[in-house]
Amino acid sequence: MYFLIVAVIVFTAGADFVGQRQLEPIYPSYALSKMGRLSDYLPSLRDSDGDSDLYFFNGREPGGTLFIIGGTHPNEPAGFMSAVILVENLQVQKGRVIVLPRGNASGFTATEPQEAFPGTFQIVNRAGKERSFRVGSRFSNILEGWPDPIIYRHYPSGQVLSGAETRNLNRAYPGRADGTLTERMAYAITEVVRKESVDLAIDLHEAAPEYPVINAIVAHERAMDIAALATVDLQLEGLEFNLEPSPTNFHGLIHREMGDNTGARVLLFESAGALQGRLRGATNAELILKSVDPFYIKAGELGKLRVPFPKEGIPLEIRTGRHLAGIAAVCRTMGDFEPERAIAYSNIPSYAELQEHGIGFYLQ
């Protein structure tokens, strides 16, 4: 009997483990031009948990190429969900848009140790069907390179960080073809930008409300002009965005390394979510969807946060809506500065439309 009980426990745990490594489907809009994989740009990723789908949308008119990256940190759902909304609704009229919803696909196969994250959250789509989306880890799955080194030494700068950062995709750029899984993902993403002649690359993130760089556009100096004008446009629309320069002495970040090593203008967006914070209480799917937390509400009342935290929280619609509004504003200003690289698209909800209808209305 003892061995039977153990066998049932092992089988149940094993089935859950295998299921966690199988990612949910994304349903592209009819305007999809083609699909690719990161392994098309670095074959050693093929058949690994670091490989990931790329979605290409081509317009009828020539223009620039926009590259959107979600899921760099899979415990930041707004970036991933923004990319999903784009893939499932996008129609491009001018230029080209490439979307990578799961920048770090390996990170979606595990949750963050000791953070009590829920494995999934659910959203009801426009047809009334419940869709489930995975919550991942900030880092690549630890099984890909266990144990972590004591220190992480960035390639090629030699910058030294904590050992766990060896699995942080946004500390691994520009990557290397023969490095760790995380470095190879960074290398493949950089190769997408090079080989597809990307003009504008945007990486989508969330951060804790107490984090200094929040509700912000972080811009490489070559993208600062379009970011500055886009920030003004967004503020005129009633969306408060901060503008932050990419630090020149902090290596591995996408906006620094890709901005230095490719021809693209590179930006990173940060929205505010309680899931990433250290002050949060109950950590569950409701916190992801509504971001209502009594401890953050109190911290906001005491003036301890970098952004307002209302009693109704900061729902996923707000965090995702900010990303989509930011992308639209940057594309408009890109066309103003460089008309020959303009990017025009449609069928993506505005910030106001997303608040009115909810995310599920825009899911297939």
- Here the tokens at position 71 are 């899921």
Q: What are phi and psi of 207, to 5 degrees?
A: -145, 165
pLDDT band (50, 70, 90) for residue 271: very high
Q: Which domain holds residue 132?
A: 34-362
Q: Which positions ≥6 away from 182 have C-beta within 8 Å?
A: 50, 104, 106, 139, 140, 144, 145, 166, 167, 168, 169, 172
With a cut of 80, say whether residue 14 has pLDDT above it: no
pLDDT band (50, 70, 90) for residue 27: very high
Residue 1 pLDDT: 56
The pTM score is 0.94
With a cut of 80, say whether residue 13 has pLDDT above it: no
Place of tokens 């979606």: 108
Report the domain count for the chain: 1
Q: What single-letter amino acid sits at 32?
A: L
pLDDT band (50, 70, 90) for residue 75: very high
- Here the tokens at position 85 are 């909304």
In a domain, 286, yes or no: yes
In a domain, 12, yes or no: no
Output the domain CATH number for residue 182. Answer: 3.40.630
> Which class for 277: exposed (0-12), middle (13-18), buried (19 or more C-beta within 10 A)?
buried
pLDDT in tens, 113-129: 889 999 999 999 999 99
- Calculate helix-pair angle for 224-236, 316-337, nearest 10 degrees: 130
Residue 237 pLDDT: 95
In contact, 79 and 70? CB cutoff 8 Å:
yes
Mean per-residue pLDDT, 174-180: 98
pLDDT band (50, 70, 90) for residue 15: very low
340-364: string of b/e by CB count within 10 Å (b at 16+)? ebbbbbeebbebeebeeebbbebbb
In a domain, 109, yes or no: yes
First to last CA, the chain: 47
pLDDT in tens, 34-71: 999 999 999 999 999 999 999 999 999 999 999 999 99
Residue 144 pLDDT: 87
In a domain, 342, yes or no: yes
In a domain, 189, yes or no: yes
H helices present in the chain, as ranges? 2-20, 77-89, 181-195, 224-236, 254-261, 285-290, 294-301, 316-337, 351-357
In a domain, 15, yes or no: no
100-122: string of b/e by CB count within 10 Å (b at 16+)? bbbbbbbbbbbbbeeeebbeebe
